[in-house]
């Protein structure tokens, strides 16, 4: 029998160490780190994803947690009720609450349906693409309860296709595999068109990055589009499937150049431009983004709007300083490409680089690129990516927009 079938009284109990921060758990922090928990032989023998009752050092219950002795995040809070039964009904309640919020925010079912801890499902990401949901079970407990999660997801959303994407970086940290799977229905054979901000994007749900599309930048795409004058020339670097470039074309840009290292992503961007009716104003340039930025500078290229949306250069605290230098370098190379009075947007999805550090690195890079600018706007992930106030990692995305002299 799996621990999901254990009745509450049979659940193991795990205890926080003396002087550990049980108060933070009581106040809503969702994680217990390995150095905060008493890890005796019994605890170490728990299978990854096991359910247990978490106690403070005095033996008082703090709630029901999922335990993974192999992870630095050894326990994740699931429910304040230590007797909660984690079954399809439990998942349905969490999913229904998440779906109600997105249904109020968006007029079409294309959004992030579940944003992990912030939606009460630690380590679980679910993006919805119409009749298809893509699930990333990035924690061992979610993998262990995937059948119940899938059942509830189908019932709540009515989606006919549910896919599992196992590409999340944290799955490796949890000791999980990287094998994708079809959990319900049949995987789509072609990219799924997604309309946002007047542009059509092509989402590859089975072979693309992450779940196929980055919904988190939707609001920042919209702000970038507001900076576009009719006929403007724009540059979208680290473009993936054309996120910023296609939104700016839809807003009236005369020409959009998208730069990415992936030929497949650029093909999808081109298909999106064509589907949006702007194929004749779209240009792709494949290559290492740093090399292409340097080459454009050598060519004397100038654009009205330049956006750089790189991958996470600082995915951990250990990578922070190197990541900040990389963000600074991006800004240094991009700033000279902006026409006088034009706009530069710089983005970071690194939770380890907070807004102040990222903004400062960007400003240093702009200065080293020989430019000065006004900071116009700071953007974050859209409302379908809610933040958990107690967990800084849930507010990972930052976007800063400058007007350069």
**Residues that are catalytic:** 349
- Determine the 3-state secondary structure of 218 from DSSP: helix
Token duo for residue 106: 């968006």
CB atoms within 10 A of CB 301: 15
Per-residue burial over 235-249, b if 16 or more Cβ lie within 10 Å, else e, is bbbbbbbbbbbbbbb
Alpha helices in 74-204 (DSSP H): 88-105, 140-144, 146-157, 169-173
Strands in 124-129's sheet, in edge-to-edge order, are: 110-115, 124-129, 132-137, 161-164, 181-184
**For residues 240 and 192, what is the distance between their CA atoms, to the nearest angstrom?**
15
Classified as helix, coil or strand, 219 is helix
Residues 6+ apart with CB under 8 A from 283: 255, 256, 257, 258
Assigned token pair, 334: 């991009």
Report the distance separating Cα 249 and Cα 242, nearest Å: 10
Strand partners, 181: 164
- CA-only gyration radius of the chain, Å: 23
Distance CA 226, CA 35 (A): 48
Exposure of 341 by Cβ count < 10 A (0-12 exposed, 13-18 middle, 19+ buried)? exposed
User: Residue by residue, what is the 3-state secondary structure of 344-385?
Assistant: EEEEECCCCCCHHHHHHHHHHHHHHCCCCEEEEEEECCCCCC
Please name the helix (run of DSSP H) or strand (run of DSSP E) that holds residue 333, with its range, or none: helix 320-334
């Amino acid at each position: 029998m799996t621990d999901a079938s254990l009745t509450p009284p049979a659940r193991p109990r795990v205890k926080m160490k003396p002087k550990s921060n049980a108060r933070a758990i009581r106040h809503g922090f969702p994680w217990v780190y390995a150095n905060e928990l008493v890890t005796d032989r019994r605890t170490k023998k728990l299978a990854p994803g096991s359910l247990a009752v978490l106690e403070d050092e005095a033996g008082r219950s703090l709630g029901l947690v999922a335990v993974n002795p192999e992870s630095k995040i050894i326990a994740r809070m699931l429910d304040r009720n230590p007797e909660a039964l984690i079954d399809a009904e439990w998942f349905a309640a969490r999913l229904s609450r998440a779906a109600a919020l997105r249904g109020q925010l968006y007029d079409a079912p294309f959004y992030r349906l579940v944003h992990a801890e912030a939606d009460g499902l630690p380590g679980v990401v679910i993006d919805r693409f119409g009749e298809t949901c893509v699930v990333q079970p990035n924690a061992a407990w979610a993998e262990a309860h995937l059948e119940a999660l899938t059942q509830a997801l189908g019932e709540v959303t009515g989606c006919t296709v549910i896919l599992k994407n196992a590409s999340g970086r944290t799955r490796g940290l949890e000791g999980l595999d990287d094998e994708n799977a079809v959990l319900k229905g049949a995987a789509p054979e072609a990219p799924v068109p997604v309309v946002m901000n007047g542009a059509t994007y092509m989402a590859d749900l089975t072979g693309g990055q992450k779940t196929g599309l980055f919904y988190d930048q939707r609001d920042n795409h919209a702000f970038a589009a507001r900076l576009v004058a009719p006929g403007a020339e724009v540059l979208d670097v680290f473009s993936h499937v054309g996120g910023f470039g296609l939104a700016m074309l839809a807003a009236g840009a005369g020409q959009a150049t998208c730069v990415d290292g992936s030929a497949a992503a650029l093909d999808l961007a081109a298909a999106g431009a064509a589907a949006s009716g702007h194929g004749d104003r779209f240009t792709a340039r494949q290559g290492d983004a740093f090399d292409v930025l340097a080459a454009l500078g050598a060519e004397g290229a100038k654009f009205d709007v330049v956006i750089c949306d790189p991958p996470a250069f600082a995915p951990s605290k250990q990578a922070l300083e190197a990541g900040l230098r990389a963000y600074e370098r991006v800004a240094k190379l991009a700033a000279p490409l902006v026409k006088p009075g034009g706009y530069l947007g710089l983005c970071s999805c690194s939770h380890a680089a907070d807004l102040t550090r990222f903004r400062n690195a960007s400003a240093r890079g702009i200065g080293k690129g020989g430019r000065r600018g006004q900071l116009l706007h700071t953007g974050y992930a859209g409302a379908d990516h809610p933040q958990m106030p107690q967990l800084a990692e849930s507010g990972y995305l930052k976007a800063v927009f400058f007007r350069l002299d």
